[in-house]
Amino acid sequence: MKQAPYLQPWNSYMETYFRYEVEKVKGGLRSRVHPKHIEEEAKNLGKVDSRKYYQKVTSPTLILRATKGMLFKDDFVLPENVAKRMLREMPNAKRFDVEGTNHYTILFEPNAVRDKAILQFLSE
């Protein structure tokens, strides 16, 4: 796990997260979440059209977007077209792209630029 390219650079934040998220089993590691629950969540994500809620979000919102995919160049959790639509339809939304990050590193990697953007947004 520590060698996975999408989890680099490995740090203490990722260590803490994955120590909670996974458990040791014979021959390796596995998620503590039962596979049927993961499958159910994946199916449910496809059933909900969250676009209908964008215009209902009226509070100031900062959309942070990772600029790198997870395993492939274009496998984003928040694709560009979705981020643009959110920005158009959420009346008080602002967007900040966190360059060089993916789904994990946008949160777990120390990033002064990201932190500054969040603090600036909160001070407005």
58-77 tens-digit pLDDT:
999 999 999 999 888 888 98
Average pLDDT score, the chain: 92
Residue 91, pLDDT > 90, answer yes
Percent with pLDDT over 70 in the chain: 100
Total domain count, the chain: 1
Domain that holds residue 97: 5-123
What confidence tier does 89 reach under pLDDT thresholds 50, 70, 90? very high
Question: In this structure, what DSSP letter does residue 81 have?
Answer: H
d(C-alpha 29, C-alpha 18), whole Å? 10
CATH number at 96 reads 3.40.50.1820
Map residue 63 onto helix, strand or coil.
strand
pLDDT at position 117 is 98
For the entire predicted model, the pTM comes to 0.80
Q: Following CA atoms 63, 15, 119, 68 in sequence, which dihedral angle do they give, to the nearest 10 degrees?
A: -40
Phi, psi of 27 (to 5 degrees): 90, 0
Q: Which two tokens stand for residue 75?
A: 């496998």
Which pLDDT tens digit goes with each residue over 22-41? Answer: 999 999 888 999 989 988 98
